[in-house]
Amino acid sequence: MSSILFTSLTTSMAPRDVKVLGSPLSPFSNRVQIALNLKSVHYEFLEESFPSKSELLLKSNPVHKKVPVLIHGGKPICESLVIVQYIDEVWTDGPDILPSDPYDRAMARFWAAYVDDKVCFCGGPTLRGLQDAEGEEAKAAALKQVMEGIMLLENAFAKCGKGKDFFGGDTIGYLDIALGGFLGWLRAAEKMTDLKILDATKTPGLFGWAHRFGSNAALKDVIPKIEKVVELAKMLAARAKAQ
């Protein structure tokens, strides 16, 4: 197990007893890293080596036995979106992640759940459908299904972002983190399938958003390299076929 210590972009916040059990290639772990970086929280990243699981992980998340887990003051918190909300509530000095307006907050949670249920690119049915499609007709059908979900998010960006840079408005918010954690996997899916998912013409809102989000300082050294994701995706695909 390797240990990586994140150095805050600012030194205004004193170090806290914060650890993250995760994988650099996990979009769910990336969500937690981004949220902590946005809040300028110092943390220790304890890398889990797939597919083995450390005793600390099994002890910290005995229900699902998976990453990410945030350990704050010796207490574990599990599930990426739950952790992001916890971070927002605990470290109030940093920028708000969840919207203050109850309706906007509800909409952000709704679309974040939609991302996990329907648009997950991390080795899930979305990516497998694109990978397994053989022939132009099958590829077109798979891409059409993916794009239906992406277009819904394009519309959600217009409504939630209200014409600004991010789903959260002027700054990165909850839904930005929920979707943005998959940015490395989405780019890998485009490379592996030779298909364009985010397009300046068809999805101008998300296309611009992806560039702005990916360029934010909070994502430095967080979103994994495409080559690493492609390697893992191929391994997961081979394992799925074998089963």
Model confidence at 143, pLDDT cuts 50, 70, 90, reads confident
Q: Which of the residue ranges 5-9, 38-42, 55-59, 80-84 would you say has the lowest mean pLDDT?
A: 5-9
pLDDT of res. 125: 57
DSSP alpha helices (H): ranges in 162-197?
174-180, 183-193
Model pTM above 0.85 = yes
Nearest to 30 by CA among 234, 240, 242, 228: 228
The phi-psi region of residue 17 (left if phi > 0; otherwise alpha if psi is between -120 and 50; otherwise beta) is: beta
Distance, in Å, from the CA atom of 86 to the CA atom of 69, rounded to the nearest integer, reads 12
Token match 């083995």: residue? 52
167-207 pLDDT per residue, tens: 999 999 999 999 999 999 999 988 988 888 999 999 999 99
